[in-house]
Amino acid sequence: MKKVIAKEVNPAHVDFSYYFDNDGLKSIGGENCAVYIVPADRRRNSGFNMDEYREIEQLAQAVIDDYEDGWPIEETLKEWAKTADASDTDSIAEFLTITTGEEWAVKSFTGYSQGDYCEVVYCINHYTPEGITEVGNFWLGCGTEFSIDGCYGYYVIDELRWEEGEKLRRYLADCYGCKPDELEIYLYDGEETVTKYKKMD
């Protein structure tokens, strides 16, 4: 039986941009069901879908301002506005739940370096907890990439990669669409630099 070859990409060459740039995270749930990744330092880092997220923050702040100024607003938003903070992701998730009719939540992620932190605001009706865990980890670079039969873009979160067992084999096989026993997996194990010399004539 011919084996399907899966090779782990050198970590220095892993590029998660395709995972985010192919628009799948924006279009999966349709309008107002995107994933918003809010970085620890909003001024320095752009995050993901942050232009749209800032618009939502502005709408939320306008409701809070109207409430504080005594203007009439919808009763459900009135209750929300009493304690809301437009700069808080939990408040924004609650605001989106009220205004879209879909349930929203927030999950936070930390990376390997001090300061690597983000919060993901997502619609739970369109994204599973596992899917959001993948999104947050990949955003912080806590994952790896495999090429399978020469095709790149098979991403694996680090927790799964480090197991190096049948779970990883089954995951890659499922991604590629083959049986686990058809896969031959090669894990990245470092690089060597060979110094060559030639005799001068």
- Per-residue pLDDT, 44: 62
- Say what the pLDDT of residue 116 is: 87
DSSP 101: S
| DSSP secondary structure code for residue 46 in this structure | -
| Alpha-carbon span 95 to 88, nearest angstrom | 11
Q: Residue 114: its pLDDT value, please?
A: 73
* Predicted pLDDT of residue 15: 86
Residue numbers in the chain where pLDDT is lower than 50 = 28-30
d(CA 132, CA 110): 13
C-alpha dihedral, 49 to 50 to 51 to 52, nearest 10°: 60
